[in-house]
Amino acid sequence: MPSIHELVVTLRQREGVAAAILLGRDGLVIDGQAAPGVDIEQVAALVPPILQAADELGANAGRGALQTAVLDMPGGLAVVSPLTPDGVLLVLSNAGAAIGPMLYELRRHREQMASLV
């Protein structure tokens, strides 16, 4: 079975991925790799409010807790995916990167990834 570090490395090596970070719901980095210029500690610290707002939206809209959020920005995408109650995966892509296959794999292998956390 792969380790958390191997999961992060594998995601980071995908074409178009600028960062792969596994963090706690408190925003602290568990493991992460990023391209130069991406401060993984600072980026991870910004994720908890996004999670809280998305979970509140899901609860109030009768949709349940967040599984995956894709935030589209001019410089690329941010994918936020809670794996466990305590572990969250954040993937940053470069602008124009084709992340459809990765999103499919994240959904398909969510339970396996969660078992690593």
Q: Can you list the domains of the chain with their CATH numbers? A: 4-114 (3.30.450.30)
pTM listed for this prediction: 0.92
HSE (side-chain half, CA atoms, 13 Å) at 95: 3
Per residue of the chain (117 residues), what is the pLDDT tens digit?
A: 678 888 888 889 999 999 999 999 999 999 999 999 999 999 999 999 999 999 999 999 999 999 999 999 999 999 999 999 999 999 999 999 998 988 988 888 888 887 777
> Tokens for 23?
């963090």
How many C-beta neighbours within 10 Å does residue 23 have?
A: 24
Residue whose pair of structure tokens reads 């994918």 in the numeric block: 79
Residue whose pair of structure tokens reads 């910004």 in the numeric block: 46
d(CA 67, CA 84): 10
